[in-house]
Amino acid sequence: MSNNVFSQLPIEDYRKPDKKIEDLFWHRFSPRALSGEALTEEAVLTVLEAARFAPSAFNEQPWRFIYSLKDDKAWYETLDSLVEFNQSWAKKSGALLIVLAKNNFSQNNKVNHTAKFDTGAAWQNLALQARALGLVAHGMSGFDHEKLKEKFKISDDFSIIATIALGVPGDIDNLSEDLKKDEKPSGRFKVEKISSRDKFDF
């Protein structure tokens, strides 16, 4: 994996934190260059192991993940649900995941207003663990919700939040010219842009 997207794009050339934080946070980004190599189920279960330790309201743990390995029937069904743009590069993923959030609390069936918030925390754990393993984890919102719901018989008790392409990083030169243009770590707003002391000021 020496000539892959992580080695081809030195992170320091694109972003750097203003405060001293752990490298894991700012080294993570979402490339689309994937090698097409298969992933082991053990690799997928390892990133899901990290996801399960996310915090959640009342320890409800509302997140759920449907995963499929490359060439599983379900992998093709998930790929088929993606918009054409995402299909063009996610077809080289080693695994595809569907992220779900359980809408109501288990103990009283009341609406869990933080279910999606908490599920986002689980996704972040997954993404950071993937990066620590040298893998790409790219979240996607471009997919057909109804197609996934029908194919996987997902009940109304759950919301489909996102899909994830997980895989071995590939060579940028194997991307289409259009994809190459955007294949770099994105910048981030300054802390002053996203926070305000004592008042609403956005």
pLDDT digits (tens, 9 = 90+) for 22-56: 999 999 999 999 999 999 999 999 999 999 999 99
pLDDT at 26: 97
Q: How far is CA 47 from CA 127, 130, 166, in A?
A: 8, 6, 10
Strands, E, within the chain: which ranges? 63-69, 95-102, 136-140, 158-167
Is residue 55 within 8 A of residue 120, CB to CB? The reply is no
Q: What pLDDT score does 98 carry? A: 98
pTM score of the predicted model: 0.96
Q: Mean pLDDT over residues 9-33, rounded?
A: 96
* Range of lowest pLDDT (2-6, 80-84, 94-98, 176-180): 2-6
The whole-number average pLDDT for the span 62-78 is 98
Predicted local distance difference test score (pLDDT) of residue 3: 87
Q: What is the rounded CA–CA span in Å between residue 49 and residue 25?
A: 18
Distances (CA, A) of 18 to 34, 35, 108, 191, 192: 30, 33, 44, 9, 11
Instruction: Give the chain's domains with CATH numbers.
Output: 38-180 (3.40.109.10)
Q: How much is the average pLDDT of 89-98?
A: 98
pLDDT, the chain, mean: 97
What average pLDDT does this structure show over 14-27? 96
Encode pLDDT of 169-198 as tens digits: 999 999 999 999 999 999 999 999 999 999
pLDDT at res. 2: 67
